[in-house]
Amino acid sequence: MIRKFLAAVAAMAAFSQAFQATPAYAAEEVNLYSYRQPFLIQPFLDEFTKQTGIKVNVVYAQKGMLERLQAEGRNTPADAVLTVDIARLDALAKAELLQPIDSEILKKNIPAQYRHPDGIWFGLTTRARVVYASKDRVKPGEVASYADLAEPHMKGRICTRSGKHAYNISLLASIIAHKGVDAAETWARGVKANLARRPQGNDRAQVKAIKEGICDVSLGNTYYMGFMATNEKSPEQKEWAAAVNVLFPEQDGVGTHVNISGAAVTEYAKNKENAVKLLEFLSEDFAQHMYAEQNFEYPVKKGVKWHPLVASWGTFKADDINLDVIAAHRAEAAKIMDRVDFDG
Ligand code: FE
């Protein structure tokens, strides 16, 4: 009990930046808790304020959002949240910290598979979970599907981060949704049997391993390719990126698994109308373009231009299963990863 309380306090402390005192003249405002970094969102938040006169106060953090919202209860200053991954959105929804929003603009701009059926959360950008493949050592057609990663010809050739990581759990959950628990478990076992090394590191570390010849393919999110290929701070990452092709699995099947970054209005929002306006703004062309481009992601709204580098990886068929269905299979996916001792 005490340990749980201390964990909550520590998590809350992660939100170190307090809201700035709101000037008395700021009649219209909206308060946002964000896991997305300032460089990503500040430019279009400024534009939102310019267009609407609504001031946006943001608390940035890397963790502890759910604990903080729970601890604050109905006293929370947060009107809306911005976060990544269906896992986090679903956790907030299940903890009853979000409220449903009925907005024609959000429904029009965001395809149904990227928003909660009852409007509890909304995807704003997508990222595909692709296969990074060595340009030198992977022949065309060797990996056309996720299923290929479990085939004998991939023995000793695969690197990945932990099977317990949210990105891999969501991918496995999508396989459960399409093929059932048994097939998903067989797949996870097969991939484990083909690993070149124990799961470790993040998505970029796997591409580094491909460059170094440790493995030939890895699983990774698309935007990391953008960050590696343009990394002036760590130019060696450009070489990692240059060593691989981005392969979109399942083009002859259900389509490549995608996840979302998203937003939602909190259960106890005091500025609900402004929060809805902000979400709607984020779903329109201006913010969609800027938001997706900053993080090398895909806009959810159709017809919004992609970053040229992102476009250079090619268009692809994305799995159109609702992310809410994937969320429903996440717990089972985590159990499978345990059963097959994926990280062991
Ligand atoms: Fe990531």
What pLDDT digit, counting tens, does each position of 249-307 carry? Answer: 999 999 999 999 999 999 999 999 999 999 999 999 999 999 999 999 999 999 999 99
What's the pLDDT band for 40 if we cut at 50, 70, 90? Answer: confident
Q: What is the pTM of this model?
A: 0.90
221 alpha carbon to ligand 1 midpoint, in Å?
A: 7
The pair of structure tokens assigned to 97 is: 């910290």
Residue appearing with tokens 């938001």: 291
Q: How far is CA 124 from CA 60, 103, 145, 291, 316, in A?
A: 18, 14, 26, 8, 18
Distance 258 CA to ligand 1 centre (A): 12
Answer yes or no: is pLDDT of 124 > 80: yes
Q: Residue 3: pLDDT band by 50, 70, 90 thresholds?
A: low
Confidence of residue 126 (pLDDT cuts 50, 70, 90): very high
Look at residue 25 and tell me whether its pLDDT is greater than 60.
no
pLDDT band at 22 (very low <50, low <70, confident <90, very high): very low
Q: Which residue has the higher pLDDT, 317 or 2?
A: 317
Distance (angstroms) between ligand 1 centre and the Cα of 27 equals 36
> How many angstroms is it from 154 CA to the middle of ligand 1?
25
Percent of all residues in the chain with a pLDDT value above 90, rounded to a whole number: 88
Question: Which pLDDT value is given to residue 163?
Answer: 98
Q: Is the pLDDT of residue 23 over 50?
A: no
Task: Determine the distance separating the centroid of ligand 1 and the alpha carbon of 78, expressed in angstroms.
Answer: 24
CB neighbours (10 Å) of residue 28? Answer: 13
Q: What's the pLDDT at 62? A: 84
Average of per-residue pLDDT values in the chain: 93
- Contact between 128 and 318 under an 8 Å Cβ cutoff? The reply is yes
Listed residue (144, 297, 136, 309) closest to 230, CA to CA:
309
Alpha carbon of 163 to ligand 1 centroid (Å): 14
Confidence tier at 26 by pLDDT (50, 70, 90) = low
Give distance in angstroms: CA of 35 to centre of ligand 1: 11
- The confidence score (pLDDT) of residue 4 equals 52
Packing angle between helix 2-13 and helix 65-72, nearest 10 degrees?
110
| Owner of token pair 């963790």 | 63
Å from CA of 168 to ligand 1 middle: 11
Q: Is 2-126+259-306 a CATH 3.40.190.10 domain? A: yes
Centre of ligand 1 to C-alpha 62, Å, is 12
DSSP state letter for 220: E
Ligand 1 midpoint to CA 34 (Å): 15
Whole-number Å distance, alpha carbon 52 to ligand 1 midpoint, is 31
On the question of pLDDT at 14 being above 70, the answer is no
Q: What's the gap in Å between 83 CA and the centre of ligand 1?
A: 11
Q: Distance, CA 84 to ligand 1 centroid (Å)?
A: 8
Say which range, 107-111, 131-135, 293-297, has the weakest mean pLDDT: 293-297
| pLDDT greater at residue 154 or residue 27 | 154
Is it the case that residue 142 has pLDDT exceeding 90?
A: yes
For residue 21, the CA-to-ligand 1 centroid distance in Å is 32
pLDDT, residue 251, reads 98
Q: How far is ligand 1, taken at its centre, from the CA of residue 197, in Å?
A: 21
CA–CA dist 140, 95 (Å, integer): 45
Which amino acid is present at 307?
H
**pLDDT value of residue 38:** 85
pLDDT at 18: 44
| Domains 2-126+259-306 and 127-256+326-339 agree in fold | yes
- Residue 38 tokens, joined: 């300032």
Determine the distance separating the centroid of ligand 1 and the alpha carbon of 140, expressed in angstroms: 27
Report domain extents, the chain.
2-126+259-306, 127-256+326-339
75 C-alpha vs ligand 1 centroid, how far in Å? 31
Considering the four listed CATH numbers 3.40.50.300, 3.40.190.10, 3.30.1330.100, 3.30.1330.20, the one that applies to the domain covering 127-256+326-339 is 3.40.190.10
From the CA of 187, how far away is ligand 1's center (Å)?
23
CA of 38 to the centre of ligand 1 (A): 16
Residue 192 has pLDDT above 60, yes or no: yes
